[in-house]
Amino acid sequence: MDFKQRIEDLTEQLNQHNYNYYVLSNSEISDYDFDMLLKELQDLENKYPELASPNSPTKRVGGDITKNFETVAHRFPMLSLSNSYSKEEIEEFDTRIRKLVDGDIEYVCELKYDGVAISITYENGELVRAITRGDGVKGEDVTANVRTIRSIPLKLRGDFLPSFDIRGEIVFPLEAFNRLNKQREEAGESQFANPRNTASGTLKMQDSSVVASRALDCQIYQLYANKINVQGHFEAVKEVENWGFKTPSVKERYIEKVQSIDGIMEFINYWDKNRNKLPFEIDGIVIKVNNYHRQDELGFTAKSPRWAIAYKFKAERVSTLLEKITYQVGRTGAITPVANLVPVQLAGTTVRRASLHNADQIEKLDIREKDTVFVEKGGEIIPKIIGVDLTKRDEDSQPTSYLKNCPVCNTELVREEGEAQHFCPNINGCQPQITGRIEHFIGRKMMNVDGLGVETVIQLFNAGLIKNIADLYDLTLEQILPLERMAKKSANNLLKGLAESKKIPFEKVLFALGIRHVGETVAKKLAKHFKSIEALSLADKETLENVDEIGTVIAESIVNYFSNEENKTMIERLKKTGLQFELDESNNTQKSNLLDGKKIVVSGVFEMSRNELKKLIEDHGGKNVSAISKKTDYLIRGENMGPSKLEKAEKLEITMLSEKELLTLLQD
């Protein structure tokens, strides 16, 4: 076989599929088939590294590590925009412009994306470099990380300019951001505060495969070249669409040409009202003079172009008194400082508390008790403290000294290198950590213990009946009956719930243990790979790291967990009570690979129960997903299925199967 030719073919096919999917939102290939092509290319590149191009589609999944980001000068300086906050200021901007140039003025209105600016250089149709804004003159080379962002083309198509820079904003789409935070919550990790900072942090990560896993996106907003062959900015943005870029949609009004102040204000008002429906955050609107000649005539001030201005949305902001900073202890021992405020109305809700995140945040904003603070609610849901009204600060006010000892058990707090959060190390003696772990253990997605709730866990703990998860299974009716508000029926239910939970399969038990960084998905992977807690507990760091998708942090956390004597004793006790600590191959062995990797939505009423149906799908390697999207491979269609789902599936041309058809398929 001509390997070079095959690599070229695969590259071309994969680039085309990527483009269809991420730019045109119109995929022609299943995820599975795509992955097979990618794997073939990866294998060939591993075998013949000299044939691997720096812009190979395999770079999309990351893997390149950047230890130090090199500082590189921008070919065109990266300026900023002057801001405005009212119609009057926009009118002044327009008047200024009309004084400086003659004739009609056409404006382009765009969204002001709230993310991180990036400048990407293309030479002869290939992405060669991506640089952060930095100080505007030079920035950091984050090319390997930017290559993982799928909507950014690595190779261009069409009639592109031989050399140019394209600029845009890297954003963290809200859906992906919320998904990431949910995963982190399940793994007992701290939450990221907002999409913008997280996008910025992600872009500077050393391991590009982590960047790849985070699904960042890029919104294009400007083209720079020595000579551009079109009349104006709007035309340029549309032109680069032909080169393979995803550009702002005219149909969805992400970009619009207008001829007057009224047009500008109409655009601003539309997005002020509708911005919460966007899949990413914006913090305003950008208005640019369209015509390049006019732009040249207008020129620049020291910091920003005269031909453009940003209009910033008003975030609703109020000020209130911060009465006290208190500290919360999470299940993992992480400490979160909380601002307790004099209640205040903000954007339709009463705000009483706001997270201060960590010690650095308090120091950065120099927040102190009895300060008057500004609380803001922008596009986000959670209110945040954005600063202190220094004019109202008491003269004898002192800087906050961060808590040194656990607010609950008084153990000295620790802060490990690289961690934003302080931790209480008294894992097995600190109440919220103990009850938090027990609450996690009994949760619906874990051991799913019926008849036991958060309140009861705390009652049981306070009565001295449970100190760890294993104690739960030693509880007797005589012990729990005397608890307040505990009727005989509920006591029996509790014991029944616990007995039932002994049937819960190993992967869920593993998740339930609450090992740091071991969330639902990781637990499944580990259970499948090691098959028993015994084998997992004996694995060293290296063995663990060799498991697909298990990195250093997870590996270290697992080794750490199993080196703790108390954890070992507890697991021994749990084993004796009959919990599942081995993979039940009879239940779990896949019956076939017929549905391997396929994403399947089940909707409507069926002859077998929905759970049976879902299990059947998993047994054949399929994955159950709840919502229909263009990634869905099959829709299993039952009776009385909702019309909107059906319509969506039809529109996306998703293959639909009846229950019978599915069964026939699997029997074959």
Active site members: 112
Which DSSP helix (H) or strand (E) runs through 343? strand 335-346
CA distance 95 to 100: 9
Contact call for residues 505 and 584 (beta carbons, < 8 A): yes
CA distance 419 to 188: 14
What type of residue is 68? N
Q: Which is nearer to ligand IVH, 218 or 601 (CB)?
A: 218
Tokens of 235: 């035309």
Q: Which is nearer to ligand IVH, 115 or 188 (CB)?
A: 115
* Residue in this structure with the two tokens 């799913």, named with its chain if needed: 448
Q: Which is nearer to ligand IVH, 305 or 497 (CB)?
A: 305
Scored b (16 or more CB within 10 A) or e, 91-101 reads eebbeebeeeb
Which DSSP helix (H) or strand (E) runs through 258? strand 255-258
Question: Considering the complex, what minimum distance in angstroms separates the CB of residue 82 from ligand IVH?
Answer: 8
Contact call for residues 513 and 441 (beta carbons, < 8 A): yes
Q: Which is nearer to ligand IVH, 113 or 234 (CB)?
A: 113
Question: Considering the complex, what minimum distance in angstroms separates the CB of residue 83 from ligand IVH?
Answer: 8
Question: Considering the complex, what minimum distance in angstroms separates the CB of residue 327 from ligand IVH?
Answer: 36
**Edge-first strand listing for the sheet containing 372-377:** 349-355, 335-346, 316-329, 372-377, 384-388
Tokens of 182: 């949910």
Question: Considering the complex, what minimum distance in angstroms separates the CB of residue 112 from ligand IVH?
Answer: 4
Q: Which is nearer to ligand IVH, 113 or 511 (CB)?
A: 113
SS3 199: helix
Helix 3-18 vs helix 31-47: angle between axes, to the nearest 10 degrees?
A: 140
Tokens of 83: 């801001």
Please state whether beta strands 316-329 and 372-377 pair in parallel, antiparallel, or not at all (unpaired). Answer: antiparallel
Q: Which is nearer to ligand IVH, 183 or 304 (CB)?
A: 304
SS3 553: helix
User: Which residues contact ligand IVH (rule: CB under 6 A)?
Assistant: 79-81, 110, 112-113, 117, 133, 169, 221-222, 286, 305, 308, 310
Q: Which is nearer to ligand IVH, 281 or 659 (CB)?
A: 281
Question: Considering the complex, what minimum distance in angstroms separates the CB of residue 221 from ligand IVH?
Answer: 4
CA distance 361 to 455: 32
Question: Considering the complex, what minimum distance in angstroms separates the CB of residue 27 from ligand IVH?
Answer: 28
Q: Which is nearer to ligand IVH, 247 or 426 (CB)?
A: 247
Q: Which is nearer to ligand IVH, 222 or 456 (CB)?
A: 222
Tokens of 385: 């403290």
Beta-bridge mates of residue 349? 346
What residues contact residue 665 under an 8 Å CB cut-off, 6+ apart?
594, 657
Q: Which is nearer to ligand IVH, 169 or 189 (CB)?
A: 169
Residue closest to ligand IVH (Cβ): 117
SS3 364: helix
Q: Which is nearer to ligand IVH, 200 or 532 (CB)?
A: 200
Tokens of 252: 């969805």
Question: Considering the complex, what minimum distance in angstroms separates the CB of residue 78 from ligand IVH?
Answer: 7
Question: Considering the complex, what minimum distance in angstroms separates the CB of residue 279 from ligand IVH?
Answer: 15
Cα 69 to chain centroid distance, Å, stands at 23
Neighbours of 589 (CB within 10 A): 9
What residues contact residue 270 under an 8 Å CB cut-off, 6+ apart?
253
Question: Considering the complex, what minimum distance in angstroms separates the CB of residue 198 from ligand IVH?
Answer: 16
What residues contact residue 228 under an 8 Å CB cut-off, 6+ apart?
161, 164, 236, 292
Question: Considering the complex, what minimum distance in angstroms separates the CB of residue 60 from ligand IVH?
Answer: 24
Half-sphere exposure of 451 (CA within 13 A, CB side): 18
Contact call for residues 508 and 523 (beta carbons, < 8 A): yes
- Note the maximum CA span of the chain: 92
Question: Considering the complex, what minimum distance in angstroms separates the CB of residue 94 from ligand IVH?
Answer: 18
Q: Which is nearer to ligand IVH, 81 or 539 (CB)?
A: 81
Query: Could you tell me which of 352, 360, 365, 348 has the C-alpha nearest to residue 323?
Result: 352
Question: Considering the complex, what minimum distance in angstroms separates the CB of residue 169 from ligand IVH?
Answer: 5
Concatenate the DSSP letters of all residues of 134-176 into one string: TTSSEEEB-HHHHTT-TTS-SB--SS--SEEEEEEEEE--HHH
Contact call for residues 359 and 422 (beta carbons, < 8 A): yes
CA distance 368 to 397: 8
CA distance 202 to 218: 13
* Residue in this structure with the two tokens 């499944």, named with its chain if needed: 524
